[in-house]
Amino acid sequence: MSYETEDTRWAAWEARDRAADGAFFVAVRTTGVYCIASCAGRPLRKNVEFHDSREAARTAGFRACLRCKPDREAA
């Protein structure tokens, strides 16, 4: 599946789609963290922005989520 639009990314986020992990990263403005698509966190849509890479999320000022640990290497 392609995760090119914000709508498809949001749908993957809502579904906690493990297939989308690593395809994009979800940053939450209110907490300052970024997550993978399958993270259990559920922020409001208005507080979310999407990034193509973890590096882009970090450059934008976000830190890794302690719950989903988006910086760990994929198994």
The arithmetic mean of pLDDT across residues 11-36, rounded, is: 96
What domain count does the chain have? 1
Rounded to whole angstroms, the Cα distance separating 64 from 55 reads 10
From the candidates 35, 36, 37, 64, give the one annotated as an active-site residue: 35
14 carries an active-site annotation: no
- 43 contact partners, CB below 8 Å, separation of at least 6: 28, 30, 31
Q: pTM for the complete prediction? A: 0.91
27 within 8 A of 60, measured Cβ to Cβ: yes
pLDDT tens digits for 24-59?
999 999 999 999 999 999 999 999 999 999 999 999
CA distances from 37 to 11, 25, 27, 42 (A): 10, 7, 10, 11
- 33 lies in some domain: yes
65 carries an active-site annotation: yes
5: alpha, beta or left, given left = phi > 0 and alpha = psi -120 to 50? beta
**% residues pLDDT > 70 (the chain):** 96
From the candidates 37, 39, 48, 57, give the one annotated as an active-site residue: 39
Which residue range(s) make up the domain with 34? Answer: 6-64
The CATH number of the domain holding residue 18 is 3.40.10.10
